[in-house]
């Protein structure tokens, strides 16, 4: 046991002596979570727009005020002609224009109908679609708050209203999606990448012979290499959770102890996968390339982090079942946003536990083959 503890201490000292590894281990997660939290968002705020008001009556002023006070739009300027709209679009200054027709209030009182034209720059289709839906929702809200303007004596006084409720994320904050997703991806990449170069480094530096003649069994060598990274990766998980909670307001509605336990299980699985890669790779460079390219893209694209799995082709949906990040993402979203317990996520937990045991067993077997 003393030799095993000494081996763990040696691995820990080696990690802290390597400044580049420390930067990757602790710097990358913090940088990624801040980048995704602040810069990458699906909602849009303070989008610059122009307004062309041919009528300039009391009602158009009220609607303009409601649009600009929503927080979604920022007035760049009030233009006077349609040519001005073309000019600002070509200059790339704005993404959307709101046009009120002439005699807006008069037509509304007389015919119960007026037109608000929403013109969007669709060179970025996603942004154009989002901004257009924002504008439509604001106008619809104004109409519902002022029914007397849209229902005259000849109009049917029957109103159909949609009661829309958003559970778990009522404000539709994209950070509630990115924090769990980036947590799953970072823990997978960092844990697997750092451990994948551990045994490969021994082979590359010629120190494998020392391990070969040591009294430690292959299983103890693997465990000794995994344990320091397990502790450091768990600290990473705690830091990410703290940043999400205190900086971005990410809720933790479920059990914190359950969330930490599931995070520990996922980290152990990722570390085991990294060790498996390191037993296969002949050099540190090969091990790192395998970790990055074999794990990064599938973890981002097929885990449900960026794209919905249900909208993927069937063969990709089936393939996503072997992506560990998919199951961990479902677990942390369920705990943090829905506040569920283990009775609702036991299946995903068993899958992660099964993958962990499989990777550990395969790593030990491969390592024995290398020793033969």
* Whether the predicted pLDDT of 88 surpasses 70: yes
Mean pLDDT of 70-93: 87
The top-level CATH class assigned to 47-149 is alpha beta
Q: What are phi and psi of 52, to 5 degrees?
A: -115, 105
Q: How many CA atoms does the CB half-sphere of 274 hold within 13 Å?
A: 32
**pTM across the whole model:** 0.74
Give the tokens for residue 336.
Answer: 């943090």
Average pLDDT of the chain? 80
Tell me how far apart the alpha carbons of residues 172 and 79 are, in angstroms, rounded to a whole number: 32
Tell me how far apart the alpha carbons of residues 16 and 33 are, in angstroms, rounded to a whole number: 23
Burial class (CB in 10 A: 0-12, 13-18, 19+), 161: exposed
Q: Judge whether 89 and 122 are in contact, CB under 8 Å.
A: no
Q: Judge whether 192 and 272 are in contact, CB under 8 Å.
A: no
pLDDT of residue 166: 58
Mean pLDDT of 222-247: 86
pLDDT of residue 266: 95
Q: Judge whether 226 and 275 are in contact, CB under 8 Å.
A: yes
Q: How confident is the model at residue 269 (pLDDT cuts 50, 70, 90)?
A: very high
**Domain edges within the chain:** 2-40+173-371, 47-149
Q: Of 6-15, 220-229, 241-250, which has the strongest mean pLDDT?
A: 241-250
Closest Cα partner for 175 from 259, 254, 253, 248? 248
């Amino acid at each position: 046991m003393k030799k095993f503890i000494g081996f763990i201490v040696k691995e820990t000292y080696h990690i802290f002596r390597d400044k580049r590894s420390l930067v990757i281990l602790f710097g990358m997660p913090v940088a990624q979570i801040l980048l995704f939290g602040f810069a990458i968002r699906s909602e849009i705020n303070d989008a610059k727009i122009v307004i062309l008001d041919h009528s300039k009556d009391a009602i158009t002023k009220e609607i303009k005020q409601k649009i600009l006070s929503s927080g979604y739009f920022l007035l760049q300027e009030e233009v006077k002609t349609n040519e001005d709209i073309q000019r600002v679009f070509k200059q790339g200054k704005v993404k959307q224009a709101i046009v009120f027709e002439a005699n807006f209030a008069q037509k509304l009182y007389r015919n119960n109908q007026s037109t608000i034209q929403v013109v969007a720059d669709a060179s970025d289709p996603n942004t154009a679609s989002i901004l257009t839906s924002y504008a439509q929702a604001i106008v619809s809200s104004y109409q519902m708050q002022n029914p007397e303007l849209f229902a005259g004596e000849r109009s049917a006084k029957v109103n159909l209203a949609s009661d829309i409720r958003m559970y778990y994320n009522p404000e539709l904050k994209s950070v509630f999606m990115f924090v769990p997703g980036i947590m799953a991806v970072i823990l997978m990449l960092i844990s697997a990448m750092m451990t994948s170069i551990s045994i490969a480094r021994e082979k590359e530096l010629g120190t494998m012979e020392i391990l070969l003649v040591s009294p430690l069994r292959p299983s103890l060598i693997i465990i000794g290499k995994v344990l320091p990274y397990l502790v450091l990766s768990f600290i990473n998980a705690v830091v990410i959770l703290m940043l999400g909670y205190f900086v971005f307001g990410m809720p933790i509605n479920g059990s914190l102890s359950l969330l930490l336990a599931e995070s520990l299980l996922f980290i152990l699985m990722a570390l085991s996968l990294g060790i498996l890669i390191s037993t296969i790779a002949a050099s540190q460079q090969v091990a790192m390339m395998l970790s990055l390219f074999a794990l990064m893209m599938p973890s981002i694209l097929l885990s449900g982090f960026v794209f919905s799995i249900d909208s993927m082709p069937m063969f990709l949906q089936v393939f996503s079942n072997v992506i560990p990040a998919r199951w961990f993402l479902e677990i942390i979203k369920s705990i943090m946003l829905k506040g569920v317990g283990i009775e609702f996520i036991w299946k995903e937990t068993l899958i992660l536990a099964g993958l962990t045991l499989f990777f550990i067993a395969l790593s030990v077997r491969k390592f024995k083959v290398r020793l033969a």
